[in-house]
Amino acid sequence: MAYCAYCVNRRSSNVKRAKFTVDEVVTLTIEFYKRNYIEGLFLSSGIIRSPDYTMEQMLLVAKKLRRDHGFRGYIHLKTIPEASPWLIEEAGLWADRLSINLELPTEHSLERLAPEKDGASIEGAMAQMFERIEEAREERRHFSPAGQTTQMIVGADDTTDADVLRTSAKLYGNYAMKRVYYSAFSPIPDSSAILPLKSPPLMRESRLYQADWLLRYYGFQVEEIAESSEQGMLDLDVDPKLAWALKNRHLFPVDVNHAEREMLLRVPGLGARAVDKLVAARRHTTLRLEDVARLTSGLKRAKPFLVTTDYHPKARLDRQDLRERLIEKPQQLSLFA
């Protein structure tokens, strides 16, 4: 019923839609679960009749599964932000996780592509959800115990990666999002004329996930990532940590035997788990290059940026062609070869 240009279910779409009844969804879920096809149910729907009607139907599925069938699998409900607040309240009682999709990172894009959506009311719903999740946790009650998540579509509009990430940083900070999902816009059957028709920007999506990880687990600030991008766009040839390091060479090389954990996390090719292992190991021993090699699969990227007892990158770090040398050759040349 709603009009969102990027969606196959928008009301102007000519694609034939299917509708499941509550009982059909319940039966399929139970029988699929019994056979271990699925771990749980992720339920999402286009708007049928009205946001409240749709939300109620989704709720009913979750409620019947839990109450009438003792279903113990995972339930994730994609809530409809325009639904009445009491329906979101009730959804939290039956679901493990609730999510509201922001879909587009800026108010401008929402206006253009999803004119019936309202960024403020979406954020309002997120804020309500955040408050209720926190409260229920304190009161030890069940309300969406696995938290809330959201999704943004990438590549349907002209928003830069830096702006996408700024929006994510805000969502993580304000509403304690468990995850922000990035979804490369892919062509849909019977597409709207105002959208780009091309293959989905999968590499861009993957770079955004990497940058998102840097924000959450590697102590990066969103502006640091923005500064190391090219006009707000992440480098598609190298990962965002490497891109940042290449622009901040004066901070390297880092001595793996002595550097702070925070600085080790900034070494390209070293993941958070590898860093934790390095820090634990160096309390008992001094690390040589071959030791580091056993802890990470990213040694090639790490080498120009680190120092061990038996290794120093010397001039390598200053080479003009360092970026080119570190570009990973695409592993998959053709999908259909």
Q: Which residues bind other proteins (CB under 8 A)?
A: 1-2, 11-14, 28, 31-32, 34-37, 47, 49-53, 70, 72, 82, 84-86, 89-90, 93, 131-132, 135-136, 138-139, 141, 143, 184, 186-193, 197-200, 202, 277-278, 280-281, 283-285, 287, 291-292, 294-295, 331-332, 335-336
Q: Smallest distance, Å, CB 81 to other proteins?
A: 13
Query: Cα separations (Å) of 192 from 11, 46, 114, 157, 197?
Result: 11, 17, 12, 13, 9
Q: Smallest distance, Å, CB 161 to other proteins?
A: 19
Q: In this structure, are residues 117 and 111 in contact, taking their beta carbons and an 8 Å threshold?
A: no
Range 244-258 burial, b when 16+ CB lie within 10 A, else e:
bbbeeeeebbbebbe
Query: Please, which residue, 129 or 162, has the CB nearer to other proteins?
Result: 129
Query: Please, which residue, 41 or 242, has the CB nearer to other proteins?
Result: 41
As a whole number of angstroms, the distance between CA 210 and CA 248 comes to 18
Q: Smallest distance, Å, CB 233 to other proteins?
A: 21
| Cα 142 from chain centre | 25
Q: Smallest distance, Å, CB 4 to other proteins?
A: 13
Query: Please, which residue, 172 or 257, has the CB nearer to other proteins?
Result: 257
Q: In this structure, are residues 99 and 148 in contact, taking their beta carbons and an 8 Å threshold?
A: yes
Query: Which tokens sit at 66?
Result: 């839990």
As a whole number of angstroms, the distance between CA 209 and CA 181 comes to 8
Nearest to 190 by CA among 8, 45, 11: 8
Residue 153 has what DSSP assignment? E
Query: Please, which residue, 89 or 260, has the CB nearer to other proteins?
Result: 89
Q: Smallest distance, Å, CB 126 to other proteins?
A: 16
As a whole number of angstroms, the distance between CA 187 and CA 207 comes to 20
Query: Please, which residue, 129 or 238, has the CB nearer to other proteins?
Result: 129
Q: Smallest distance, Å, CB 166 to other proteins?
A: 26
Q: Smallest distance, Å, CB 324 to other proteins?
A: 24
Query: Please, which residue, 250 or 336, has the CB nearer to other proteins?
Result: 336
Query: What value does the CA radius of gyration of the chain take, rounded to a whole number of Å?
Result: 23
Nearest to 254 by CA among 243, 246, 266: 266
Query: Please, which residue, 45 or 186, has the CB nearer to other proteins?
Result: 186
Query: Please, which residue, 246 or 264, has the CB nearer to other proteins?
Result: 264
Q: Smallest distance, Å, CB 231 to other proteins?
A: 26
Q: In this structure, are residues 234 and 207 in contact, taking their beta carbons and an 8 Å threshold?
A: yes
